[in-house]
Structure 1
């Protein structure tokens, strides 16, 4: 899956970004929600999906968006510390999302794509093709691990 060099690169990126976790997470979540709302028109086509967000203020700059975004980024950063233990690290989140929140696992893939876009914006030229490829592999693995409980 990931080479030692890629794992090191991913760890370094997340260590560098953890101090701005709230900003990155809120930005990625907002991109994700806009993707769902505008591109897929999911809320209009499938009103039941609003239940995921009905209790949150999901407007730009809201405390809910920032807080939840920070949780997501810190969970990703924690997973990046020891990628070989990703399943163990994410076990509580797997259970939460699968059994309590009942989030459609497709959403993990969409969010990982939005996270890639956000990282590219924040890192600029530092988001090299190598970093992009490594991060894409890592976020795909992250999404797959979160979806494991659904099988």
Structure 2
């Protein structure tokens, strides 16, 4: 699990990245769609071309949910409860996509943060994103 130091670091990273939430989210989604084409299935009705309004909008929603979850990681299940139900029961997203997206988000954060994305930051963020993906997938069990 995450230490107090890691939780603080994650919150600081998301605080710094919030102003560019749209860009980070859109880039991470585009990486996922490019690397894992099967993940596009759920977005067939949207324009998912680079920098499209749909991609920017959805990317921002995802990042802001991650920011919200990072404010109190111990309450992640409570914070994400509405998104759990939405993705499991209405959208019926394959939960594997949450893990795939997490990996793409790590790469995107590394690109945006450069040298600021240290080994410690990478490890902490990887733990957080894994927890985030696991919580989103809980309703599928």
TM-score by structure 1 length?
0.91
- Please tell me whether residue 6 in structure 1 is matched to residue 10 in structure 2: no
Cα distance, 1:2 vs. partner?
0.2
How do residues 51-66 of structure 1 correspond to structure 2 at under 5 angstroms? Answer: 52-66=42-56
Instruction: Supply the distance in 2 between the matched residues of 1:30 and 1:69 (Cα, whole angstroms).
Output: 9
Provide the residue aligned with 1:18 in structure 2: 18
- The structure number with the bigger radius of gyration is 1
Provide the residue aligned with 2:110 in structure 1: 120
Instruction: Supply the distance in 1 between the matched residues of 2:123 and 2:44 (Cα, whole angstroms).
Output: 35
State the secondary structure of the residue aligned to 2:36. Answer: helix
Instruction: Supply the distance in 1 between the matched residues of 2:116 and 2:136 (Cα, whole angstroms).
Output: 28
After the TM superposition, which parts of structure 1 deviate over 3 Å for at least 4 consecutive aligned residues? none
- Please tell me whether residue 148 in structure 1 is matched to residue 134 in structure 2: no
State the secondary structure of the residue aligned to 1:58. Answer: coil
Alignment deviations for residues 87-131 of structure 1 (CA, whole Å, 9 cap, x no partner): 000000000000000000000000000000000000000000000
Provide the residue aligned with 1:133 in structure 2: 123
Cα distance, 1:35 vs. partner?
1.1
In the alignment, structure 1 segments of 5+ residues that lack a partner are: 44-48
Provide the residue aligned with 1:106 in structure 2: 96
Cα distance, 1:32 vs. partner?
0.6
Provide the residue aligned with 1:81 in structure 2: 71
How do residues 10-49 of structure 1 correspond to structure 2 at under 5 angstroms? Answer: 10-37=10-37, 42=38
In the alignment, structure 2 segments of 5+ residues that lack a partner are: none
Instruction: Supply the distance in 2 between the matched residues of 1:93 and 1:69 (Cα, whole angstroms).
Output: 14
Provide the residue aligned with 1:95 in structure 2: 85
